[in-house]
Amino acid sequence: MLIAHKIALDPNNVQATYFAKAAGTARFAYNWALAEWGRQYEAWKTNNGQPKPTQAALRRQLNAIKREQFPWMLEVTKNAPQMAIIQLGEAFKNFFAGRARYPRFRKKGVNDRFSLTNDQFNIDGSRIRIPNLGWVRMRESLRFAGKVMSATLSRQADRWFVSITVDTQDLSHLPKAENQGAVGVDLGVSALATLSTGEPPIPGPKAHTALLKRLQRLSRSLSRKEKGSQNRKKAKAKLAKLHARISNIRKDALHQLTTDLTRRFHTIGIEGLNVKGMMSNRHLARSIADMSFFEFRRQLEYKTEMRGGMLVVADRWFASSKTCSNCGDKLESLSLSVRQWTCPACGKNHDRDVNAAINLKHYAVSSTVSACGEEGAGLSRKTKVKPASVKQEVNAITTYG
């Protein structure tokens, strides 16, 4: 199992400058290779004698010319440009397989990062050794035991992080689920989650909404600064720090909620929401994005697997809200503004969100009984999420931290 542990770094000024140079070198190599790939691919289509571009050929081509044309690349680790081109090759592989769009050029200051192979760095407690630089302090030690595969150093606002990927089978850092039964979780905008247990709804942090005025003020301040000036750099840094704070508040709340759910319940049922379609509603788009439904599902996926639990994702067309959880009668329509309704068949009064959560719980329980030919539960399954009548693709690498 591949697990990526993201750890904050504590570099000095010299080390932070080196990271910025390495990230810039990786960005340049990626953009250079992307431009060359497009040029060579067009030549290959028009001339049968021209070889088809590959990431291995582009790496050899860059190695042959970098000492003469790009001597500043030698100031940082050779992994920075080489791994960037390898990542471009993976991006094109996903593009030709129909899993992603055509790769785009990287921009300075947007997701600045560079990667290292496992033979180019060492970890000793709470520090990591970077090629051509030396030891850099980490804010905590690596949590997982196993074979270290790679490391990616990235910048978020004014802070640097290292994401270390480990191949491990040791999941003893998380105890097994207490198995308090099954639970259905209905996600919403007014409340982040409503549980089928009858507990009070769990409010979301709504960090973006709470800090929206400050965000708008800093955005206006940035737009008024002259491009290329030092004041614009300072204003941009302030805005980036605020965005990072909003992201951290949201992730912290989601981690606490998903950890509590996976610790208590063995089987969890949620709804496969069409978030992209929901975001098209301009009245709710900001609130939906502030809740981060996809991140909630992603965290549930890998945490249930670590604890030996099961996550069942209902189809997006599953009528969880307008189906009576008492008798099973289904309404023809139910407006989003209706929060309370009474079943015409049995007379049961329902809270919309609680009723949906109970139906998701029933769906999850019924899905645990495997039909002939379907996958069963447990860590030996090929997929992290229990299939629910539809094919689901999951990321093989999970991020913890």
Q: Is it the case that residue 375 has pLDDT exceeding 60?
A: no
User: Using CA atoms, how far apart are residues 133 and 238, in angstroms rounded to an integer?
Assistant: 28
What is the sign of the dihedral through the CA atoms of 129, 130, 135 and 139? Answer: negative
The Cα-based distances of 34 to 4, 28, 89, 235 in angstroms read 27, 10, 9, 31
Pair 84, 76: CB distance under 8 Å: no
Q: What is the mean pLDDT of residues 164-187?
A: 80
pTM of the model: 0.79
Q: Say if residue 184 is exposed, middle or buried (CB neighbours under 10 Å; 0-12, 13-18, 19+).
A: buried
User: Using CA atoms, how far apart are residues 336 and 352, in angstroms rounded to an integer?
Assistant: 9
Residues involved in catalysis: 186, 271, 353
Q: What is the mean pLDDT of residues 118-127?
A: 91
Pair 108, 155: CB distance under 8 Å: no
Tell me the per-residue pLDDT of 48-80, one tens digit each, with 9 for 90 and over: 777 889 999 999 999 999 999 999 999 999 999
pLDDT for residue 369: 61
Q: What is the mean pLDDT of residues 261-281?
A: 85
Q: DSSP labels for 204-230?
A: ---HHHHTHHHHHHHHHHHHTSPTTSH
pLDDT for residue 1: 79
Tell me the per-residue pLDDT of 296-322, one tens digit each, with 9 for 90 and over: 999 999 888 888 888 988 888 888 888
Rg of the chain (C-alpha set):
25
